[in-house]
Structure 1
Amino acid sequence: MTTARTNNGIASFIFYLLLWSNLVLPRSLYGQTATADHGKRFSDINDLASFFSLDKGPQVIISGHRGSTESGLAENSIEAFDTVLSHHFAFFEVDPRLTKDSVIVLMHDATLDRTTSGTGKLADRTWDEVKSLRLKDRNGQLTDCRIPTLKEAIAWATGKTILNLDKKDVPLPVMAKLLRDLGVANLVMVTVHSPAEALFYRNHFPDQMLSVHAKTEQALQQYIDSGLEMRHMIVYIGSQITPANKALYRKLSAMGIRAMISASSSYDKHGDASERAQAYRAIQEDGATVIESDFPMEVSRALDIK
């Protein structure tokens, strides 16, 4: 018991040391790559909810899907987040997964092969075994980036942006405990795929910012009927422009909620940058107020968002 408490105390000390250095020290002193000129500081949940509200108009907010894979950047890397913020503001969808020894790291795939210099299942490797692996870019070329822990990513993001934590293999109670222990539940967003998941987080953190999956009016109504307070959220409605989106836009707009389309599995796949730019503009014209993309800097240029 004493050893466990000591280890927990050391872990907490390291996190807050990272957080302090992130807020106080120049980044060159602790190994980050660029200056997040376009970062935004959110003081509390009201500040965060105000930013995502539609009260100030429907200007599009950009979400970097797994950070970014532009310009040789590695997905789910702090370097990718940092580079995007040096060009424009975005928040970032990231993928928390567990190592064999229960360290939460950022990794989309269950296996290491596609995105790192390692092989095999992440869940079969300890943190010590994966922390020195190099991340690959979208073309499979090795970079100098390393796999970050979720704690490291949160410490980096605090005072700069918001991380949207997708649901992978981290049990909801484990994630809730981490957010409570770090005191950052109201300074991150969590992705939920069902009313039950949404209610779980809101029962623990009543003001939790949510990224809700609801691709149809019927799916949206299930969240409403569940008793979930429809506030402090964005709603993911799909990956493509469809006629059915119009009804969702109207309903969500009336509720003051932003609708998000993710281009990562659709329009980002266009091989030509000019085609992608046209697609991003079409998404905006269609009525989406959050665009998620593997190419957030391209989206910014296409929509002239600073």
Structure 2
Amino acid sequence: MFKKILAACLLLQSASGFAQEMKKVVANNFKELQQYFRYSDAKPVIISGHRGGMLPQFPENSIEAMGKTLTILPSFFEIDPRLTKDSVMVLMHDATLDRTTTMKGKVSDYTYAELQAARLKDRDGNITEFKIPTLEEALEWGKDKTIFNLDNKGIPWVKYVDLLKDKKYPNILLSVRSMEEASFYYKNLKEVMLCVAIKNQADLDAYIKTKIPFNRLVAYVGYTMDPAHEKVYQYLRSKGVMIFISIHPTQDKRKTDLEKVKGYSEELIKRPDIIETDYPALFVNEKK
């Protein structure tokens, strides 16, 4: 029980104090991606950076934030592709530019060329020198460094199929909003890993009906591990499926870093396999 907790001990430190060598998470092919996401009780808790992770002076959904995070700990990253007016996929969580950039209005109202004038803001609202990256730029940067979980912010499903069908990027997990979306990707892609919401027995039953193999699945179970659904978790793990929680709307909202770390410890005790957080730099794996 304690192997994962010991392997994911929390150390609260300043990001500037770390060496700059990257701690990479590499999947060179689909089999390696499947192995990375295959459940084993011996594996340490995997930390995922929500919106690419956040650090002082390093904005969300930026290549620079992901690169900085990898100098602190190995991580994969949830990122948010969104379409511009001229159908370029860029990284932007919100439908509008106001919160995270120096521009205002909808992303979809601007061409990619127009968005080059924008500069990203960090989590404190400070303007940085960093620009809005395209999805392609992020994938090219990260293909020998990390794994990406693509959330879908209105991207047509067929565009993700086109992106993955030539196997140029084997390091991608697709988050889906429905069993229908999961089935579409499985039908149209021979090699695809899916992050699917399976929060209860009804969700599990619905997934089983799709007949998608369990070795294509990472199970998102919500904001925490709920003892009421322990049988679902046990079944999923018996099939080699990792249990994934996201704490960005809960423990990440605590006021101070020390309070956040206390909340993270509470989640680690419940033994998830993957924790998605806005602040991956507050998790530092200490191997035991």
TM-score, reference length from structure 2: 0.88
Structure 2 regions of 5+ residues with no counterpart? Answer: 1-18
User: 1:282: which partner in 2?
Assistant: 266
User: 1:20: which partner in 2?
Assistant: none
Say which of 227, 247, 262 aligns to 1:263: 247
Alpha-carbon distance change, 54 to 272 in structure 1, aligned in 2, over 3 angstroms: same
Cα offset, 1:79, TM superposition: 0.3
Cα offset, 1:235, TM superposition: 1.0
Say which of 166, 185, 193 aligns to 2:151: 166
User: 2:63: which partner in 1?
Assistant: 78
Deviations 1:226-255 (A, max 9, x none): 211111321110013433242332122111
User: 1:38: which partner in 2?
Assistant: 23
User: 2:237: which partner in 1?
Assistant: 253
Counterpart contact for 1:262–1:291, Cα < 8 Å:
yes
User: 2:11: which partner in 1?
Assistant: none
Alignment of 1:39-54 (within 5 A): 39-54=24-39
Classify the secondary structure of the residue corresponding to 1:66: helix
User: 1:226: which partner in 2?
Assistant: 210
Alpha-carbon distance change, 103 to 182 in structure 1, aligned in 2, over 3 angstroms: farther
Cα offset, 1:46, TM superposition: 0.8
Say which of 97, 103, 121 aligns to 2:82: 97
Alpha-carbon distance change, 305 to 290 in structure 1, aligned in 2, over 3 angstroms: farther
Name the CA distance, whole Å, in 1 between partners of 2:220 and 2:228: 14
- Percent identity between matched residues is 38
Counterpart contact for 1:36–1:83, Cα < 8 Å:
no
Cα offset, 1:163, TM superposition: 0.7
Q: State whether structure 2 residue 89 is matched by structure 1 residue 107.
A: no
Q: Which amino acid aligns with 2:195?
A: S
User: 1:198: which partner in 2?
Assistant: 182
User: 2:9: which partner in 1?
Assistant: none
Deviations 1:177-232 (A, max 9, x none): 12335722x32111012111111111122320111112222112201112111113
Q: Give the number of aligned pairs.
A: 270
Counterpart contact for 1:45–1:207, Cα < 8 Å:
yes
* Higher relative contact order (CA closer than 8 Å, sequence separation 6+): 2
Cα offset, 1:174, TM superposition: 1.5
User: 1:304: which partner in 2?
Assistant: 286
Counterpart contact for 1:74–1:137, Cα < 8 Å:
yes
